[in-house]
């Protein structure tokens, strides 16, 4: 477990945990600041705690010492409870949180939820800092009461990119270390905010990683890092899915920021999401994945089990981007929902979700709007142990204990060789196509010579990309101390504007297309 805290000045800080009646010291392994053109961060500390028992409460505190004094502040004393390794197991899921009054309502409801979640999985777009570093500090002040006692796991969204003010993902990378498979690789690149087209390099580190909670294995992916054939992200994912021991972690859950299945009019089409799905959905279809979680679209939607657009098998896809951020909710649905895989959707309420694992075979997914007592959408999820695509297969991994980087690079080399073979085939095929085109051109010229009229039709497709900019602690609790006033974002939600303009607009629009197995409250 990693514990992260922030202080305004450097010191020889350490984390102290009360274990078996004695304070055990865990020195910070990283104490760093980072800066942008207009911001200097506090000193961010990370310490790794080992030797803790499952399902046990521990008191911990931050101790600071300098050359002149040594002290342990009572203000930094907390109680955390480690996750259980048995059933039932509850995991909270949150997306697109931000820092508005709605964000506060969501985190307060999550913190009070019973049964108490043992961890929270935040599927991207954390603080909505968007290059304003102090907003990372203010967001952490909002979530500290909850995440100083409950482990938080997160993945990056588009609002974490922030490449306009410094290195891509810098605030996220500096503050939220993951159980990294290797040291991060970060390179220069661009991100087009209007089309969501990116060529960013961000591999390993907190970009994509896996973690286990009890008997469930979670895979965190990065929509905005390279994921195509030959990429590190895809090679890593193939290896993780091939090597997972289903006798130890029978459940496999995948998280990413941008949803692959969505009927909302917002955030589509987007190039990064399309490339991510086109490359990685076939990989997931070759493994037994039960749930795929995402945010990005500021609404709630759940699918039926679906595999490569085929309904009835495969994972259940959930979009839960209703955490409370300043960009408001997207109650923007086509009038008729013709997608057979879409089961339930709502764009008027903020909230979060939970997964409650009962045993190795059955779990329950629940959507919990802030203003509703109990779940609004609830469904039992069957554990998927087999591929949903009988024609798909994962690569055979000879040595799952092999160094991850070496294994990934070997896999990438193999993929590049396959691409070279494909290129040779394309060249040969291209020569044949070229010959056919020459013959066809001659025929066309002859036809035009005797033709007196020609007719052509042009069809153009317009995609609305006029949306405004859209704009983590693994097994970690956060004890962040910040100076300054906290200012919340204020806005008029889009759906409130819609109701003012259209008195016939429903105040609570949702659509359910579920089958008899769903229990809706």
What is the DSSP track for 86-123? SSSEEEEEE-S--SSHHHHHHHHHHHH-SSPPSEEEE-
Least confident of 104-108, 423-427, 442-446: 442-446
CA-based torsion, 326, 331, 334, 337: positive or negative: positive
pLDDT beyond 60 at 381: yes
Of 387, 396, 414, the C-alpha closest to 284 is: 387
pLDDT (tens digit per residue) in 91-146 = 999 999 999 999 999 999 999 999 999 999 999 999 999 999 999 999 999 999 99
Averaged pLDDT of the chain: 81
Average pLDDT over residues 393-416: 86
Beta carbons within 8 Å of 31's beta carbon, 6+ residues apart: 10, 13, 43, 44, 45
User: Looking at the predicted structure, is the pLDDT value of residue 362 above 90?
Assistant: yes
Q: Does residue 455 or residue 41 have the better pLDDT?
A: 41
The pTM (predicted TM-score) of the whole model is: 0.82
| CATH classification of the domain holding 498 | 3.60.21.10
269 lies in some domain: yes
pLDDT at 472: 29
Mean pLDDT, residues 179-199: 85
CA distance 61 to 416: 50
Confidence band of 199 (pLDDT split at 50, 70, 90): confident
**Is 104 domain-assigned?**
yes
Say which DSSP state 267 is in: T
Q: Is residue 490 pLDDT above 70, yes or no?
A: no
User: Phi/psi at 199 (nearest 5 deg)?
Assistant: -130, 40
* Entry field: residues in the chain: 521
* 8: DSSP letter: S
Cα distance between residue 72 and residue 413, in whole Å? 51
Q: Rounded to whole angstroms, what are the CA distances from 114 to 123, 149, 272?
A: 21, 15, 37
Please state which of the ranges 39-43, 235-239, 325-329, 457-461 shows the lowest mean pLDDT: 457-461
Position 338 scores a pLDDT of: 84
Judge whether 277 lies within some domain.
yes
More confident residue, 391 or 480: 391
Query: Per-residue pLDDT tens for 218-266?
Result: 999 999 999 999 999 999 999 999 999 999 999 999 999 999 999 999 9
Determine the pLDDT at residue 513. Answer: 62
- Percent with pLDDT over 90 in the chain: 60
Question: What are the distances in angstroms from CA 259 to CA 26, 149, 255, 294, 384?
Answer: 39, 29, 9, 5, 20
3 state DSSP class of 225: coil
Determine, yes or no, domain membership for 180: yes
Higher pLDDT, 13 or 178: 178
Burial label, 507 (beta-carbon count in 10 A; 0-12, 13-18, 19+): exposed
Extended beta strands in 407-449, E state: none
Arithmetic mean of pLDDT, 458-471: 26
CA separation, residue 333 to residues 196, 202, 518 (Å): 21, 33, 22
Q: How much of the chain exceeds pLDDT 70, in percent?
A: 77
Query: Of the listed 46, 257, 267, 298, which one is catalytic?
Result: 267
In total, how many domains does the chain have? 1
How buried is 262 (Cβ within 10 angstroms: 0-12 exposed, 13-18 middle, 19+ buried)?
A: buried
Residue reference for tokens 């795929």 = 292
The boundaries of the domain holding residue 197 are: 89-395+469-512
Query: Over the stretch 143-178, which tens digit does the pLDDT of each residue have?
Result: 999 999 999 999 999 999 998 877 899 999 999 998
Task: Flag whether 290 is in a domain.
Answer: yes
More confident call, 429 vs 459: 429
Runs of H (alpha helix) within 77-207: 101-112, 134-147, 170-175
Report the pLDDT value the prediction gives residue 440, as an integer from 0 to 100: 38
pLDDT of residue 363 exceeding 60: yes
* Cα-based torsion angle of the residue sequence 340, 342, 348, 349 in order, rounded to the nearest 10 degrees: 160
| CA dihedral of residues 505, 508, 513, 519 (deg, nearest 10) | -170
State the DSSP string of 192-248: ETTTTEE--EEESTTSSEEEEETTEEEEE--TTS--STT-HHHHHHHHHHHH--TTT
Higher pLDDT: 160 or 414? It is 160
Residue 432 reports pLDDT greater than 70: no
pLDDT band at 181; cut points 50, 70, 90: confident
What is the structure's pLDDT at 66? 54
pLDDT at 179 over 90: no
Residue 486 has pLDDT above 90, yes or no: no
With beta carbons less than 8 A apart as the criterion, state whether 336 and 312 touch. Answer: no
Is 70 exceeded by the pLDDT of residue 511? no
DSSP state for residue 68 in the 8-state scheme:
S
- Residue 500, phi then psi, degrees to nearest 5: -65, -40
Question: Considering only CA atoms, which of 98, 114, 58, 47 is closest in space to residue 489?
Answer: 98
* 267 given a catalytic annotation: yes
Assigned domain for 502 exists: yes
On whether the CB atoms of residues 478 and 177 are closer than 8 A, the answer is no
In 3D space, the residue among 227, 230, 365 whose CA is nearest the CA of residue 291 turns out to be 365
């Amino acid at each position: 477990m990693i514990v992260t805290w922030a202080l305004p000045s450097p010191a020889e800080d350490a984390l102290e945990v009360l274990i078996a009646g004695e304070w055990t010291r865990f020195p910070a392994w990283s104490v760093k600041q980072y800066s942008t053109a207009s911001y200097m961060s506090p000193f961010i500390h990370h310490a790794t705690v080992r030797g803790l028992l499952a399902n046990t409460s521990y008191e911990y505190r931050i101790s600071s010492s300098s050359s002149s004094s040594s002290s342990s502040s009572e203000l930094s004393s907390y109680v955390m409870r480690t996750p259980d390794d048995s059933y039932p197991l509850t995991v909270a899921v949150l997306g697109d949180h931000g820092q508005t009054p709605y964000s506060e309502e969501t985190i307060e409801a999550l913190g009070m939820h019973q049964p108490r979640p043992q961890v929270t999985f935040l599927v991207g777009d954390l603080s909505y800092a968007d290059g304003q570093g102090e907003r990372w500090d203010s967001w952490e002040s909002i979530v500290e009461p909850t995440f100083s006692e409950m482990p938080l796991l997160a993945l990056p969204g588009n609002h974490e990119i922030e490449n306009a003010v410094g290195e891509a993902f810098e605030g996220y990378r500096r503050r939220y270390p993951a159980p990294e498979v290797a040291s991060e690789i970060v390179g220069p690149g661009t991100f087009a905010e209007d089309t969501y087209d990116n060529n960013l390099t961000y591999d390993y580190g907190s970009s994509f990683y896996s973690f286990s909670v009890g008997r469930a294995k979670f895979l965190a992916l990065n929509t905005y890092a390279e994921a195509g054939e030959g990429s590190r992200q895809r090679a890593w994912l193939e290896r993780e899915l091939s090597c997972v021991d289903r006798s130890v972690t029978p459940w496999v859950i995948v998280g990413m920021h941008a949803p692959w299945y969505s009927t909302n009019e917002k955030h589509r089409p987007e190039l990064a999401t399309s490339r991510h799905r086109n490359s990685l959905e076939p990989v997931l279809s070759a493994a037994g994945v039960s749930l795929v979680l995402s945010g990005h679209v500021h609404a709630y939607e759940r699918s039926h089990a679906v595999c490569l657009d085929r309904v009835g098998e495969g994972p259940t896809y959930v979009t839960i981007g209703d955490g409370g951020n300043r960009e408001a909710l997207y109650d923007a649905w086509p009038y008729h929902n013709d997608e057979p895989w879409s089961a339930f959707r709502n764009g008027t309420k903020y909230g979060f979700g939970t997964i409650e694992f009962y045993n190795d075979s059955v779990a329950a997914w629940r959507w919990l709007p802030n203003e509703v007592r109990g779940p609004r959408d609830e469904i039992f999820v069957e554990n998927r142990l087999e591929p949903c695509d009988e024609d798909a297969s994962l690569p055979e991994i000879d040595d799952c204990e092999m160094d991850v980087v070496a294994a990934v690079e070997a896999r990438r080399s193999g993929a590049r060789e396959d691409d070279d073979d494909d290129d040779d085939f394309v060249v040969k095929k291209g020569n044949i196509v070229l010959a056919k085109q020459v013959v066809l051109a001659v025929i066309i010229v002859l036809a035009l010579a005797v033709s007196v009229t020609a007719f052509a039709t042009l069809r153009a497709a317009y995609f609305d990309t006029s949306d405004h900019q859209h704009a983590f602690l693994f097994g970690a609790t956060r004890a962040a101390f910040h100076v300054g006033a906290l200012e919340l974002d204020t806005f008029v939600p889009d759906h409130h504007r819609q109701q003012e303009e259209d008195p016939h607009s429903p105040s609570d629009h949702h659509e359910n297309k579920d089958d008899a197995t769903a229990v809706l409250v």
